[in-house]
Structure 1
Amino acid sequence: MTDQNEQEFLNNLEKKLWTSANKLLPSLDASQYKHVMLGLVFLKYVSDAFDIRRDELKAQFTNPKHDYFIDPADFDDDADYQTDIAAELEGRDYYLETNTFWVPPVARWQFLRDKNKVVIGGAELSIQVKNRTKKIKISSVGHLIDSALEAIELDNEKKLKGVLNKRYTQLQIDQAKLCELIDLISTIPFRHKSLSSKDILGHVYEYFLGQFALAEGKKGGQFYTPKAIVSLIVQMLEPYKGRVYDPAMGSGGFFVQSEQFIREHQDRKTKQSSGNLEISIYGQEYNHTTWQLAAMNMAIRGIDFNFGKEPANTYTNDQHPDLRADFVMANPPFNMKEWDTGVDDNDPRWVYGRPPSGNANFAWLQHMLYHLAPNGSMGLLLANGSMSSNTSGEGDIRKALIENDLVECMVALPGQLFTNTQIPACIWFLTKNKNARTAASGRQLIDRRNKVLFIDARNLGYMKDRVLRDFTQNDLNKICDVYHAWQTGKDYEDQKGFCSSANLTEIQKHDYVLTPGRYVGAEDVIDDGEAFVDKMARLTAQLKTQFEENDRLEAKIKKNLVGLGYEI
């Protein structure tokens, strides 16, 4: 968690960047602007990380106590000594050993800053790509940026092949605006007394993703899940170690939050670095540009990932067919239609019933269950209809899931949480093993067989603007604490209007409907001792008095306006 000073620093930075960037690129719509801005943020990050490692190496080369020390006594003069150090600083292996991207000279930020105004109108530059120097005609600032992205991708093919969006040359905008944008992003500081460059630029990247999702509206929701919802699922599942999978990953928000969760909760005695996290990341995404956003999102944070060979349809081209994940988290498209073209009716994933063609909700759920390890846990967002619908066999699938004791917890969410839909949503938490055992977090779980926890969170959160609702950290903690208390049997109690633990018999009485409101009941109303009849009479009289006062004030205002010469 960031402290107050760090948060203030980040808030000021993001406000400055967003306001300035909007002034520079008014002609681009959000879907284009997104890639322009995020591609440059990525270049800035890898270059900054490279420079930090370069400074570390230079200090090591000149430190007699370090293994990398280069003794000046071995050289005839200082010029030869400095030349040798400069050559060593270009040694690729020094950077790869600390998981730092090797950045070729043409892709370094200082090169872009120095050359971006030179190339307007065309300039011939000597650049080095894969140890070969060649002269090429750079025709525009967009061409300069594309050349930088291409060079860094060629030099880091294993991690970045097909990831970077090299389309700056095609942008129909004033090249001088791109120059100004480079100068603007140059102001992003990568040194802070307590925040690392990865923390700062990772925050900027995530902030811009959220802003673009808002700007794109419904379309933007395809790549972005609100941070509070992602954080809630991650905090409830606690993915400390193991394989983490998202079959509808968008821009990779669940992976980012998983990594941050571990970093914030890791044992400080071990001082385990984020580079040695005991989780493996697996994801899949159909949209090519969103797949690229996710890969850049991981690369900016130094997270290793496996997103398959290519962007692909989860149902017809599963990129991880043999994966059995310890944690599965997803926010798939709600109520997706015509999802099953090319999908076999007897697909082995449909263990609990063939999902209807008109709605993919239970297809996503069963796909995730298919990829879940025997002791794994999963959480996914679905439309509220999934909790009660009996259309086209959905009720039978839900019944089978309950009878097979796979459902662990249901959370009803408040409305207006999403940028792209007003459809009410819920979170399903499922597991294949409710027996007493030790979780990955170290929690000692009790036997929860044939029991389901219901949480009604519809009254939590606050309106952060006129359109969107958000959760506070206290809201998230309230939900997570109840869930973990129920799992461990420590200090759990049903709370009317908020949470209830129900057994299979109770769920059967409700015809296998999983809507939390049916189980938690209504919150107790405090009895103020006043009889209902008396209270209604008092409130009615009070309302009548207020109406009369309103009429009196309205008449007075009209009279004053007429006195001033205005006609009413």
Structure 2
Amino acid sequence: MAVTQQEIESRLWDAADELRVAMPEAQYSSVVFPLMFWKYLSDTWDHQHAQFLADNEGLLDGLSAEEAHEIEYRDYQSFEIPFIHRDTVQERRASWSAILATVTQPGLGKRVRASLQAIETANPDKFSRLFGNMAWASEEVLPADVLAAVMQAMDRVPKMHEGNMSHDILGGAYEYLLKRFSDGSGTRAGQFFTPREVVELIVEVLDPNNFESVYDPTCGSGGMLIASANLLKMRGKRGYTLRLYGQETVADTAGVARMNLFMHNLTQFQVEVGDTLKDPRFKKPDGSLAQFDVILANPPYSLKWKPWTNDPRAIGAVAPQSTADWAFVQHMIASMDPKKGRAGVVLPHGVLFRGGQEALIRERVLNADLLEAVIGLPANLFYSTTIPTAILVFRASGTKIPERQGGVLFIDASKRFAKAKNRNILTDADIADTVTAYHSKFATDGKPVDPDGDGGLATRFVTYAEIVTNEYDLNIGRYIKQAATQQEDLGTLIEAYNIARAERQKVEQRMLDVLAKAGIDGFDD
């Protein structure tokens, strides 16, 4: 009987739930994902090994162990599950089933750690540093009886190989756990998980195509990379042809991303560990930044950082120490392929209007005609913050379609959401309407030629002349007037206050400049 999505998800959660006696739910992922992936690898290896033996029955008797090994790994296996504790009484294969048989014996955590490390070492090109630091394998962190209970519960999950379940089911189960852990872990989830519907919207707008390169400089669990491949597959194209690249500062989270990609049967990827702003890992042979066709990201908001002192990415100015928002944008712009590169990034509304260094960067980006669109999203979409955010879409210099050159498209999707238990969500209709608005044609007054009527989104194409008049301020409310009542939640109120405060500070500064020129001092004390 075929394995259902619901069945595998239910049994995986049963395994995760065994951890409740030992750690908070926010930490479940560090244990469950490595164990789940280990079981997947082991089940796959065992399935292929059985096929190898069945296909070569009677043909192996005259071969040495080395010759049989060479045939199996040439024709059947795509990775190796080696032995641990060779030449000792504890020798056994580093497989799920072999270690599961020893769960009642002392030192279970040490055997699990040794097995995962052996798999990493035996497959350096595929699984190097895949399982993270494995601190949870210590008995001081996770008692042996709890680890045994988790493994026994997970063993009740049906065999996780292609002969028994599709990669669609495997990938879906992995994402189910990601979302469930995120729902239960509050703001911590924002470190590695972007809600799927936000990811889908960005990917739909950027529209990756067969054989293109896709890069996420703050990749978290890899959801944006996977969504890019899924979109192509859904359209009858070849998602597996994408070349996927990601960088993540947290090693364990990078491991989650690698496992996630493998579970979705995506093998053309490279996920590196490091601080993207300080130490970008993807470089050309000459040391300059690698460039990609599609770049998408949901970077950490208002991150305090050490500003660059001499970096070619710093177009216009260097982002202030208090917030790296525009530094991430500058990195993405520098990483766009000059012929067809495009980028989409989710950021708080402050990037649209804050002054100082950020205003200088914004001016340079706009003067270079790199910004194509600003899409205002609803408040409370994310696990890590309730504030409203916006998607900024960029195109490499000179690559905008003629109708979009010399201006910016503004879309207000802030009222389009459905309320869920812990946050707001974008429905399929919300995503579709926003994508339709993005592809709109516009009359000379900047209004859509074919508006969608009452159900459409407020959309307007604004020329640079108008933006310059507003001193390069990109606050959506300057260009789109909405009659609808604002949602009275805390995040929206805070953002409205910040916008109003920034406006007041600008007016005050202009007044002080005029007074100073007139020789009148003392008003700024």
TM-score (norm 2): 0.79
Q: Provide Cα deviations, 1:108-141, integer angstroms capped at 9, x if missing partner.
A: 2322333323x2x3xxxxxxxxxxxxxxxxxx22
Compare CA radii of gyration and give the structure with the larger one.
1
Q: Residue 417 of structure 1 is aligned with which of 367, 375, 381? A: 381
Corresponding residue for residue 155 of structure 2? 186
- 2:78 corresponds to 1:100: yes
Corresponding residue for residue 196 of structure 2? 227
Distance 1:57 1:99, change over 3 A: closer
Distance 1:40 1:398, change over 3 A: same
Equivalent pair of 2:52/2:76 in contact (CA under 8 Å) = no
Corresponding residue for residue 380 of structure 1? 345
Q: Letter of the aligned partner of 2:28 in structure 1?
A: Y
Distance 1:200 1:171, change over 3 A: farther
Query: How do residues 432-451 of structure 1 correspond to structure 2 at under 5 angstroms?
Result: 432-433=396-397, 435=399, 447-451=403-407
Q: Provide Cα deviations, 1:403-438, integer angstroms capped at 9, x if missing partner.
A: 2111111111101111111222111000014547xx
Equivalent pair of 1:497/1:521 in contact (CA under 8 Å) = no
Equivalent pair of 2:39/2:160 in contact (CA under 8 Å) = no
Distance 1:481 1:88, change over 3 A: farther
Equivalent pair of 2:459/2:480 in contact (CA under 8 Å) = yes
Query: How do residues 264-343 of structure 1 correspond to structure 2 at under 5 angstroms?
Result: 264-267=234-237, 272=238, 277-301=240-264, 302-308=266-272, 311-321=273-283, 322-340=289-307, 343=308
* Deviates most, 204-213 or 234-243: 204-213
Deviation of the 1:320 alpha carbon: 1.5
Corresponding residue for residue 479 of structure 1? 434
Q: Residue 218 of structure 1 is aligned with which of 168, 187, 195? A: 187
Q: Letter of the aligned partner of 1:377 in structure 2?
A: R
Structure 2 CA distance, aligned partners of 1:400 and 1:11? Answer: 51
Determine helix, strand or coil for the equivalent of 2:315. coil
Corresponding residue for residue 254 of structure 1? 224
Corresponding residue for residue 352 of structure 1? 316
Q: Letter of the aligned partner of 1:175 in structure 2?
A: A
- 2:370 corresponds to 1:406: yes
* Deviates most, 423-432 or 144-153: 144-153
Equivalent pair of 1:58/1:85 in contact (CA under 8 Å) = no
Q: Residue 201 of structure 1 is aligned with which of 161, 164, 170? A: 170
* Deviates most, 401-410 or 102-111: 102-111
Determine helix, strand or coil for the equivalent of 2:221. coil
Equivalent pair of 2:44/2:162 in contact (CA under 8 Å) = no
> Identity rate of aligned residues, in percent?
28
Equivalent pair of 1:494/1:501 in contact (CA under 8 Å) = no
Determine helix, strand or coil for the equivalent of 1:217. helix
- 2:351 corresponds to 1:389: no
Structure 2 CA distance, aligned partners of 1:222 and 1:96? Answer: 40
Equivalent pair of 2:30/2:136 in contact (CA under 8 Å) = no
Q: Provide Cα deviations, 1:307-342, integer angstroms capped at 9, x if missing partner.
A: 34xx222222121133011111111111112332xx
Q: Residue 453 of structure 1 is aligned with which of 399, 405, 409? A: 409
Structure 2 CA distance, aligned partners of 1:91 and 1:229? Answer: 46
Distance 1:58 1:484, change over 3 A: farther
Corresponding residue for residue 245 of structure 1? 215
Corresponding residue for residue 65 of structure 1? none
Determine helix, strand or coil for the equivalent of 1:500. strand
Determine helix, strand or coil for the equivalent of 2:404. coil
Q: Provide Cα deviations, 1:493-548, integer angstroms capped at 9, x if missing partner.
A: 356752222222232343322233333333699xxxxxxxxxxxxxxxxxxxxxxx
Structure 2 CA distance, aligned partners of 1:497 and 1:430? Answer: 21
Q: Provide Cα deviations, 1:415-462, integer angstroms capped at 9, x if missing partner.
A: 1111111222111000014547xxxxxxxx554211322111111121
Structure 2 CA distance, aligned partners of 1:453 and 1:195? Answer: 48
Q: Letter of the aligned partner of 2:346 in structure 1?
A: L
Q: Letter of the aligned partner of 1:325 in structure 2?
A: F
Corresponding residue for residue 135 of structure 2? 167
Equivalent pair of 1:497/1:524 in contact (CA under 8 Å) = no
Equivalent pair of 1:58/1:89 in contact (CA under 8 Å) = no
Q: Residue 335 of structure 2 is aligned with which of 367, 371, 376? A: 371
Structure 2 CA distance, aligned partners of 1:86 and 1:420? Answer: 57
Corresponding residue for residue 462 of structure 1? 418
* Deviates most, 491-500 or 105-114: 491-500
Structure 2 CA distance, aligned partners of 1:50 and 1:168? Answer: 25
Deviation of the 1:152 alpha carbon: 1.2
Any unmatched runs of 5+ in structure 2? 84-92, 284-288, 486-525
Higher relative contact order (CA 8 A, sep 6+): 2
Structure 2 CA distance, aligned partners of 1:493 and 1:510? Answer: 27
* Deviates most, 23-32 or 176-185: 23-32
Q: Residue 117 of structure 2 is aligned with which of 140, 150, 155? A: 150
Deviation of the 1:193 alpha carbon: 11
Equivalent pair of 2:214/2:293 in contact (CA under 8 Å) = yes
Equivalent pair of 1:116/1:144 in contact (CA under 8 Å) = no
Corresponding residue for residue 498 of structure 2? none
Count of aligned pairs between the two proteins? 458
Corresponding residue for residue 26 of structure 1? 21
Determine helix, strand or coil for the equivalent of 1:284. strand
* Deviates most, 328-337 or 142-151: 142-151
Structure 2 CA distance, aligned partners of 1:174 and 1:86? Answer: 42
Corresponding residue for residue 507 of structure 1? 467
Equivalent pair of 2:11/2:157 in contact (CA under 8 Å) = no
Equivalent pair of 2:16/2:28 in contact (CA under 8 Å) = no
Q: Letter of the aligned partner of 1:40 in structure 2?
A: L
- The RMSD of aligned alpha carbons is 3.2
